[in-house]
């Protein structure tokens, strides 16, 4: 375990253990990933040259069921990062009471530098390398940063070729035509939206009087921004990796999404039909967006965006973590001292893995649900677990992140203890 992401993630575990009693055997198990795989993936490039990419797959814990977790394509992917993400997935699945453990995978590269043909060869090569490590009853990959339904479809197809049988349940987040679930692409944002809607009465807030800034305007960030906009919230700032825009009067999110899809850039615009006009705004960097004075701040990009270095400059009243691990444990303490309430990633962004679970269930049964059924089931699960975590936080007088870990630990501890502890063997 390196003194970085995974070490930092374990600080949350240590804090939660002050509030819950589980067997020391379970604690020891949860300190270490169950298995880690590092692979080399040779890819023949379009120009005839050969490149070898580094890939990873980690199963952190499978005490509650097959491991579950996404695959990301990103230059910053490391084994430590993948282990940390698998750690969070373990707790996330327990928070939502899904019959899964936690896993994660990734390949170190900039996917924007590869053609679609090269990406397909890379995706299939990754599955060739990890095929013995995954499976519908073992470890089920899904989309993550810079991966999408088409890539998941390639991976499922390659696994099916290797096994010589159609195996849709090996991967979730696939195209609908290949066994994907309706609602999966918007599930992360939809889950976050249901968390926010659930806690609004508890915070004595109304949408029209609530300002929101969203860092990260990708799949999750753009969708949550639009869901909140359409629900009457005032979304005043959004950004992507290149920078963002801020307007205290509020932004027209559907228009910005329209421009983003056509130009790959964020511009403050208002569109009527095909005509888009620029509106008054201030250009902001990702770092500046985090420090805006808003009611709700939504980090929806990558890890470690709020650290000990900038936490004291955060002025939002509430933070909803749509990204995985956007706040370090050191920053948590600073934010708590400032009275900023953080709604943790293992609850807020759990909509994605929840609908992945729904997809897995549909694949295995061969019976597929309507979009309305998917969203209704998602809302029921998210609302129920949000209410439970809120209650735990009130009863223990602790922060919401710790309450979420306590909630997960109770379920995970029961599963690990059910297999036997020291007392069962030593009388």
Active site (catalytic) residues:
104
Residues 47, 53, 58, CA angle at the centre, nearest 5°? Answer: 155
| 375 is an annotated ligand-binding site residue | no
Q: What share of the chain is helix, strand, coil (3-state, %, to 5)?
A: 45, 20, 35
Residue holding tokens 């198990």? 29
How far is residue 297's CA from residue 214's CA, in Å, rounded to a whole number? 6
Q: Residues 377-382: contacts with CB within 8 Å, 24+ apart? A: 378/183, 378/187, 378/190, 378/191, 378/194, 378/351, 378/354, 379/194, 381/96, 381/97, 381/354, 382/96, 382/191, 382/194, 382/195, 382/198, 382/350, 382/351, 382/354
8 A C-beta contact, residue 244 and residue 238: yes
| 219 is an annotated ligand-binding site residue | yes
| 391 is an annotated ligand-binding site residue | no
Q: Which of 247, 188, 192, 252 is nearest to 219 (CA)?
A: 188
| 174 is an annotated ligand-binding site residue | no
Give, to the nearest 10 degrees, the angle between helix 253-263 and helix 219-230: 150
What Å distances lie between residue 31 and 11, 78, 227, CA to CA? 10, 19, 37
How far is residue 185's CA from residue 82's CA, in Å, rounded to a whole number? 22
| 92 is an annotated ligand-binding site residue | yes
What Å distances lie between residue 265 and 114, 163, 257, CA to CA? 20, 42, 9
How far is residue 99's CA from residue 97's CA, in Å, rounded to a whole number? 7
Annotated binding site for substrate: 68, 92, 356
Annotated binding site: 68, 92, 188, 219, 356
Annotated binding site for NAD(+): 188, 219
């Amino acid at each position: 375990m390196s003194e970085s992401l995974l070490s930092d993630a374990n600080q949350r575990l240590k804090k939660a253990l002050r509030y819950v009693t589980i067997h020391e055997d379970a604690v020891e198990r949860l300190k270490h990933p169950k298995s880690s795989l590092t692979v080399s993936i040779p890819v023949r490039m379009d120009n005839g040259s050969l490149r070898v990419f580094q890939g990873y797959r980690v199963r952190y814990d499978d005490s509650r069921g097959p491991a579950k977790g996404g695959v990301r394509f990103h230059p910053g992917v490391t084994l430590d990062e993948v282990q940390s993400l698998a750690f969070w997935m373990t707790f996330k699945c327990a928070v939502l009471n899904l019959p899964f453990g936690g896993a994660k995978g990734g390949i170190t590269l900039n996917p924007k530098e590869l053609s679609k043909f090269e990406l397909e060869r890379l995706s299939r090569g990754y599955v060739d390398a990890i095929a013995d490590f995954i499976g519908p009853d073992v470890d089920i990959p899904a989309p993550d940063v810079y991966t999408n339904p088409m890539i998941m479809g390639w991976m499922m197809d390659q696994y099916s070729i290797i096994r010589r049988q159609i195996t849709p349940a090996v991967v979730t987040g696939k195209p609908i035509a290949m066994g994907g679930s309706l609602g999966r692409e918007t599930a992360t944002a939809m889950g976050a939206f249901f968390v926010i809607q659930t806690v609004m009465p508890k915070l004595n807030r109304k949408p029209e009087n609530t300002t929101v800034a969203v860092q990260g305007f990708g799949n999750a960030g753009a969708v949550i921004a639009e869901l909140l906009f359409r629900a009457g919230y005032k979304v005043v700032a959004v950004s992507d990796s290149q920078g963002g825009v801020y307007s205290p009067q509020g932004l027209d999110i559907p228009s910005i999404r329209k421009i983003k899809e056509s130009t790959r850039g964020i511009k403050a615009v208002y569109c009527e039909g095909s005509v888009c006009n620029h509106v008054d705004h201030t250009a902001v960097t990702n770092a500046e967006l985090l420090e805006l004075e808003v009611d709700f701040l939504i980090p929806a990009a990558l890890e470690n965006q709020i650290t000990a270095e900038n936490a004291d400059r955060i002025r939002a009243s509430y933070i909803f973590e749509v990204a995985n691990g956007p706040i370090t444990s050191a920053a948590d303490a600073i934010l708590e001292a400032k009275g900023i309430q953080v709604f943790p990633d293992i609850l807020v962004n759990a909509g994605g893995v929840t609908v992945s679970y729904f997809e897995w269930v549909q694949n295995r049964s061969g019976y597929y649900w309507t979009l309305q059924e998917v969203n209704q089931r998602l809302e029921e699960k998210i609302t129920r677990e949000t209410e439970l975590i809120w209650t735990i936080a009130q009863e223990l007088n602790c922060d919401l992140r710790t309450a979420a870990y306590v909630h997960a630990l109770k379920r995970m501890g029961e599963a690990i203890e059910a297999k036997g502890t020291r007392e069962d063997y030593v009388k």
